[in-house]
Amino acid sequence: MTALALAAGKAAPEWAWPLDGDAWDREPRLSAEERTVLVQAGPRLLHSSRLARAERGALARLLGPLEQVRSCLWIPDKAGHCAATTATASPSG
């Protein structure tokens, strides 16, 4: 909505969270299986694609909400982002 429309008295639309967080399991305690997988997986947790299917299954309650949120975000491709940043930062001439 433009500043002109707001000045004319029109209300800005209320932003709505695009995910249904009510469906997420919010149990703060880890299950024994979750704890075991977290300890065993260690650094592989930084790249969820490196987890075995059984590990992903055991951590589905924890990873599911994160993956849903990530799917709603625009995350630039690292290579393209770095190239664009470098091209913008370099002096023309």
Q: What is the pLDDT of residues 1-32, one digit of tens each?
A: 556 656 666 776 787 778 888 889 999 999 99
User: Would you say residue 53 lies in a domain?
Assistant: yes
Taking the model in full, what pTM does it have? Answer: 0.59
In a domain, 32, yes or no: yes
pLDDT at 8: 67
Structurally, the chain folds into a number of domains equal to: 1
Residue 44 belongs to a domain: yes
Name the residue range of residue 74's domain: 23-85
In the structure encoding, which two tokens stand for residue 88, read together?
Answer: 């913008």
Q: Tell me: pLDDT of 36 over 70.
A: yes
Query: What was the pLDDT predicted at 75?
Result: 74
Judge whether 18 lies within some domain.
no
pLDDT digits (tens, 9 = 90+) for 50-67: 889 999 999 999 999 998
Q: What local confidence, expressed as pLDDT, does residue 3 receive?
A: 64
Q: Is position 3 within any domain? A: no
Q: Indicate the range of 29-33, 71-75, 85-89 predicted with least confidence.
A: 85-89
**Residue 91 in domain:** no
24: its two tokens: 């997420």
The C-alpha torsion from 52 through 55 and 60 to 65, rounded to 10°, is -70
How far is the C-alpha of 23 from the C-alpha of 32, rounded, in Å? 22
Does any domain span residue 11? Answer: no
3-state secondary structure the chain: CCHHHHHCCCCCCCCCCCCCHHHCCCCCCCCHHHHHHHHHHHHHHHCHHHCCHHHHHHCHHHHHHHHHHHHCCCCCCHHHHHHHHHHHHCCCC
